[in-house]
């Protein structure tokens, strides 16, 4: 967005145009509600006049000012990638001539930054933002009002998938069937075709169903609470709600006939996608009738549920279906949320028109103002350079240290873990394997050139395009991958390579026990690869930094033989856990915890043949009284990007006179990265659970902002081990 100030948000439907000012800090301001210039209200008005009036009403709602921003929740079948409106029966009847809505609005108000979302998408973004959805996989929102449609969001990625036309969930125009008063009913939808879901179940459809019932059963109608109330001048909506409150059987029959097609849609959706953890129904009809609408759906599900599932788990279907309370799925707020998320064509969220560089891409950028999702100029690769499109990137502990100000690395765009695809190469790139389309992993650490450290002093992978400079390309740091790890496992390539390097170095000493400090990604990877890389008889002891980490490990499918918590852990207790025989120690902790972990390990292992790998960071000139005279920072820096080979291992005498070998490493070699990628392809199920959180690029901003201000690793109700960020294509 071009502004952080309030956004004008609009909800445009067949009956009303509502607008207000909204911001995340101040919430939703006073809502102005005006009649919609639509086909529903003006059946005989020419299309061009309808559209002209509607565009004018939208533009008039946006106040002038510096860089105004407007976000529309628009009730139409529209291409989420471009904002092109294909059709809206309530707004335009059966007319399907495409309307480029952002362009039409931009022509009338070029001063405004326009964001256009389908109204169900907007409502879903608001509904899915509620904290109770944390930890859920997918949420479906179906709206029943003057029209009917639904949307599904994958909360693990933030994606609202669309088809090749940019559409999803136009269920109002699916074929449908229902009965009233013992006979089939055939009604025509507002789109002009007969027998659609919306013909029976929308607001206008429900009123037409009432007319059918009155004609077919006039005596019952006149005797019913519904019929008497309407005869007395009460509006249909109020009369129906009151009749249902009084348990009027004719009103219940009418509602059940109207909800039958909706129940069919929900039943089918859940049978096809059991990852739907919540199927919510909103809109004026469903929300207005509330508990009566839910009870009607439940009656359908009791009569005809899911094959076998409804017998074996009777509540599984009904417990997943909810009817929204008023305000739970607010399209005005959702439009504002969509505008803040920005343009994400790959996630199918919405279309926008804005001023941006001729060739630009989006990135998660950090600056004095904090973290934000912003466009950046897309560079052309110069001689020897390679331009890549990150596909998935991981967020690690050093990234969080940079965000918290613990590290002073200056790159505005962080991220050094992940896989990418080459999109362009500059002149003089000598490696014939590096050409557009090739999947690659970029080694973040240059063995010789301090000016290249990806995501630290060079812009990293949390962006849609990243330039790898010639110095890194010449050093062989852009590594083609024969096979890409499935899903988002590319976020684990670099940390698994670190665990591999450590295993090769420590495994030379044939340890009987592997002691791992740190419950981050590298620590978990070291534990679950120990018997494959150190030998089938090695014991593993895993010391956790946090109680939540220990709880997570206790429930994990691959955990250490002994699991301990560092807080209050004595050397005596740790020594008992280690047992006898050679010991390898891998310390993969945040920098402040590295020296305490080393000292505890040396005290517990006194007299035992011990080798230690300092994977975790260290302050400058780090030293310990337990290893007199050792510059541990220098020891750790002696091995860089896989050089030398074999790695340098320093030998020291501890303060108690025992011998200890210590090594460390900054970065890994290309062979370790390639091996790690191949391992993730060979055995993805061994590692999949370590990627606990998946977001898209704009969705990473609020999550990273929260992690930057808190050491709490509980996110969305569960322990964060590895966060993977899925990229979209530049829009």
Residue with tokens 């460390």: 664
Torsions phi, psi for 673 (to 5 deg): -65, -45
pLDDT at 351: 62
pLDDT at 231: 95
Looking at domain 131-323, its CATH architecture is 2-Layer Sandwich (3.30)
| Distance in angstroms (rounded) separating the CA atoms of residues 66 and 655 | 68
The helix (H) or strand (E) run that includes residue 722 is strand 722-726
Token pair listed for 726:
């899925």
How many helices (DSSP H) and strands (DSSP E) are in the chain? Answer: 26, 34
CATH number listed for the domain at residues 493-671: 3.40.50.720
627 secondary structure, DSSP code? B
pLDDT at 349: 46
The answer to whether 131-323 and 493-671 have equal CATH topology is no
Q: Are 242 and 289 in contact (CB under 8 A)?
A: no
Residue with tokens 């999109």: 423
Torsions phi, psi for 495 (to 5 deg): -65, -35
pLDDT at 728: 64
Strands 32-35 vs 16-23: parallel, antiparallel or unpaired: antiparallel
pLDDT at 356: 38
| Distance in angstroms (rounded) separating the CA atoms of residues 343 and 711 | 30
| Distance in angstroms (rounded) separating the CA atoms of residues 184 and 341 | 46
pLDDT at 729: 54
Produce one character per residue of 29-56: b if its CB has 16 or more CB atoms within 10 Å, e if not: eeeeeeebbbbbeeeeeeeeebbeebbe
pLDDT at 343: 36
For the chain, list residues with pLDDT below 70.
1-5, 342-359, 728-731
Token pair listed for 630:
């050792």
Going by C-beta distance under 8 Å and a sequence separation of 6 or more, which residues neighbour residue 61? 8, 10, 17, 19, 32, 70
pLDDT at 727: 86
CA dihedral angle for residue 327, residue 331, residue 333, residue 337, rounded to 10 degrees: 140
pLDDT at 131: 77
| Distance in angstroms (rounded) separating the CA atoms of residues 366 and 704 | 10
| Distance in angstroms (rounded) separating the CA atoms of residues 242 and 289 | 10
Q: How far is CA 69 from CA 32, 446, 713, in A?
A: 17, 43, 35
| Helix 249-272 and helix 236-245, axial crossing angle in degrees, nearest 10 | 90
pLDDT at 346: 29
Token pair listed for 116:
């256009």
Going by C-beta distance under 8 Å and a sequence separation of 6 or more, which residues neighbour residue 156? 137, 693, 694, 695
| Distance in angstroms (rounded) separating the CA atoms of residues 178 and 184 | 6
DSSP string, 638-678: TSBTTBSSSPP-EEEE-TTS-EEEEEE-BS--HHHHHHHHH
DSSP string, 143-193: EESSSEEEEEEETTTTB----TTS----GGGSB---EETTEE---B-TTS-
Nearest 5°: the CA angle 719, 725, 730 is 160
Report the SS3 class of residue 410: coil
pLDDT at 357: 40
Helices (H), 177-330: 197-201, 203-216, 218-223, 225-231, 236-245, 249-272, 284-289, 291-303, 309-312, 316-320
pLDDT at 254: 98
| Distance in angstroms (rounded) separating the CA atoms of residues 638 and 82 | 53
Residue-wise pLDDT tens digits, 396-442: 999 999 999 888 899 999 999 999 999 999 999 999 999 999 999 99
pLDDT at 133: 80
Q: Where are the domains of the chain?
A: 7-128+330-353, 131-323, 493-671
pLDDT at 1: 41
pLDDT at 342: 57
- As a whole number of Å, the end-to-end CA separation of the chain is 14
Q: What are the E-state strand segments in 42-112?
A: 69-74, 77-78, 84-87, 99-100
Looking at domain 7-128+330-353, its CATH architecture is 2-Layer Sandwich (3.30)
Strands 562-565 vs 84-87: parallel, antiparallel or unpaired: unpaired
pLDDT at 652: 95
CA dihedral angle for residue 650, residue 655, residue 657, residue 660, rounded to 10 degrees: -30
Taking alpha carbons only, the member of 474, 479, 415, 406 closest to residue 442 is 479
Q: Are 713 and 723 in contact (CB under 8 A)?
A: no
pLDDT at 710: 86
Beta bridge partners of 394: 417, 724
Helices (H), 469-545: 470-474, 493-507, 521-533
Going by C-beta distance under 8 Å and a sequence separation of 6 or more, which residues neighbour residue 26? 6
Residue-wise pLDDT tens digits, 552-604: 999 999 999 999 999 999 999 999 999 999 999 999 998 889 999 999 999 99
pLDDT at 617: 85
Taking alpha carbons only, the member of 542, 541, 529 closest to residue 501 is 529
């Amino acid at each position: 967005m071009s502004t952080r100030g309030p956004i004008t948000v609009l909800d445009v439907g067949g009956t009303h145009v509502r607008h207000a000012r909204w911001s995340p800090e101040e919430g939703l301001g006073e809502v102005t509600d005006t009649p919609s210039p639509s086909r529903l209200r003006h059946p005989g008005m020419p299309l061009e006049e309808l559209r002209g009036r509607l565009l004018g009403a939208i533009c008039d709602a946006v106040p002038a000012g510096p860089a105004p921003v407007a976000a529309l929740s628009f009730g139409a079948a529209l291409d989420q990638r471009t904002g092109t409106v294909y059709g809206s029966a309530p707004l335009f009847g059966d007319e399907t001539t495409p309307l480029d809505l952002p362009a039409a609005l931009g022509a009338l108000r070029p001063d405004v930054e326009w964001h256009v979302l389908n109204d169900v998408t907007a409502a879903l973004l608001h509904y899915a933002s509620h904290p109770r959805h944390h930890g859920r996989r997918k949420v479906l929102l179906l709206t029943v009002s003057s029209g009917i449609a639904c949307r599904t969001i994958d909360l693990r990625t933030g994606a609202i998938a669309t088809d090749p036309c940019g559409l999803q969930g136009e269920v109002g125009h699916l074929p449908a069937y229902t009965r009233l008063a013992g006979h089939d009913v055939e009604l025509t939808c507002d789109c002009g075709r007969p027998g659609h879901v919306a013909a029976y179940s929308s607001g206008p459809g429900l009123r037409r169903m009432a007319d059918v019932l009155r004609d077919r059963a006039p005596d019952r109608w006149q005797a019913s609470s519904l019929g008497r109330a309407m005869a007395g001048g009460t509006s249909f909506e109020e009369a129906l709600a009151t009749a249902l409150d009084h348990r009027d059987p004719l009103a219940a029959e009418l509602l059940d006939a109207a909800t039958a097609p909706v129940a069919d849609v929900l039943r089918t959706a859940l049978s096809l996608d059991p990852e739907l953890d919540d199927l919510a129904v909103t809109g004026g009809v469903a929300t207005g009738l509330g508990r009566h609408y839910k009870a009607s759906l439940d009656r359908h599900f009791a009569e005809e549920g899911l094959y076998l599932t409804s017998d074996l788990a009777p509540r599984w279907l009904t417990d997943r279906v909810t009817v929204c309370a008023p305000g739970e799925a607010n399209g005005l707020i959702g439009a504002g949320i969509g505008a803040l998320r920005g343009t994400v064509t790959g996630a199918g969220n919405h279309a926008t028109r804005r001023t941006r560089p001729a060739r630009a891409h989006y990135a998660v950028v950090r600056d004095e103002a904090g973290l934000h999702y912003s466009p950046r100029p897309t560079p052309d690769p110069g001689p020897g350079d390679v331009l890549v499109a990150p596909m998935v990137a991981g967020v690690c502990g050093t990234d969080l240290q940079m965000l918290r100000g613990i590290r002073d690395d200056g790159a505005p765009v962080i991220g050094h873990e992940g896989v990418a695809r080459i999109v362009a190469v500059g002149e003089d790139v000598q490696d014939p394997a590096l050409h557009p389309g090739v999947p690659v992993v970029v080694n973040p650490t240059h063995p010789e050139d301090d000016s290249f450290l990806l995501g630290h002093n060079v812009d990293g992978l949390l962006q849609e395009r990243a330039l790898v400079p010639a110095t890194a390309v010449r050093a062989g740091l852009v590594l083609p991958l024969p096979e890409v790890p499935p899903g988002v496992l590319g976020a684990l390539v670099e940390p698994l390579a670190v665990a591999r390097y450590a295993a090769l170095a420590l495994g030379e000493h044939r340890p009987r026990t592997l002691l791992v400090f740190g419950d981050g990604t590298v620590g978990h990877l070291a534990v679950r690869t120990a018997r494959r890389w150190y030998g089938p008889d090695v014991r593993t002891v895993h010391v956790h930094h946090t109680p939540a980490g220990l709880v997570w490990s206790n429930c994990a499918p691959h955990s250490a033989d002994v699991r301990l918590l560092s807080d209050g852990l004595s050397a005596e207790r740790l020594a008992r856990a280690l047992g006898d025989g050679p010991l390898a120690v891998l310390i993969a902790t945040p920098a402040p915890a590295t020296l305490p972990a080393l000292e505890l390990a040396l005290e517990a292992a006194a007299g035992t043949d011990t080798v230690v790998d300092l994977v975790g960071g260290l302050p400058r000139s780090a030293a310990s009284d337990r290893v007199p005279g050792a510059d541990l920072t220098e020891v750790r820096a002696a091995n860089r990007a896989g050089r030398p080979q074999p790695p340098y291992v320093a030998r020291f005498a501890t303060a108690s006179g025992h011998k200890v070998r210590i090594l460390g490493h900054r970065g890994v070699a290309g062979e370790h990265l390639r091996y790690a990628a191949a391992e993730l392809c060979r055995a993805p199920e061994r590692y999949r659970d370590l990627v606990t959180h998946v977001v898209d690029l704009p969705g990473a901003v609020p999550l990273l902002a929260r992690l930057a201000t808190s050491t709490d690793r509980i996110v969305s109700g569960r322990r964060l081990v590895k966060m993977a960020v899925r990229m979209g294509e530049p829009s």
